Amino acid sequence: MKVDVYTAPLSDEGKEILRDRDAALDLLYKLLNDAQHGPFEVKAGARTFQVSSSVPDEVT
């Protein structure tokens, strides 16, 4: 049967983190380790990102 392929949301910041596999895995392990919504800090290349898995207003 024919299928439609959709692209999941991925912002420029998300692409930057995913390009750095170590940073992407580092973030995954932080998410797996913590049942909370964050925020976490992740370094991808020369930049540092604050990551939350809650709604943005809760990012502190």
Partner 1 sequence: MNFALPAITLLLILLPGILAVQGFLGKIGRKTSDPVGQTGITWALLAALLVAPVIHLALSATLVWLHLAWPPDLHAIFVLLSGDFADKADFARTIDTVIGAPWRVTLYFLLAAFVGLVVGRLVQLLVRATKLDRRVGSLHFGNDWHYLFSGEIDSDRRRPDAVVVAATVEHAGQVYLYVGYLRDYAVDRDGELKRLHMNSVVRRRIGDDREPGQVQHIPDRSGRFYPITGDELVIIFRDIRTLNVRYLYFRPK
- Residues near partner 1 (CB under 8 A) are 1-11, 13-14, 17-18, 21, 24-33, 41, 47-56, 59
In whole angstroms, the minimum distance from the beta carbon of 52 to partner 1 comes to: 5
Distance, in Å, from the CA atom of 47 to the CA atom of 2, rounded to the nearest integer, reads 41
Q: How far is the CB of 12 from partner 1 (least distance, A)?
A: 9
Contact between 59 and 53 under an 8 Å Cβ cutoff? The reply is no
Task: Name the minimum Å distance from CB 37 to partner 1.
Answer: 9
Q: Are 23 and 43 in contact (CB under 8 A)?
A: yes
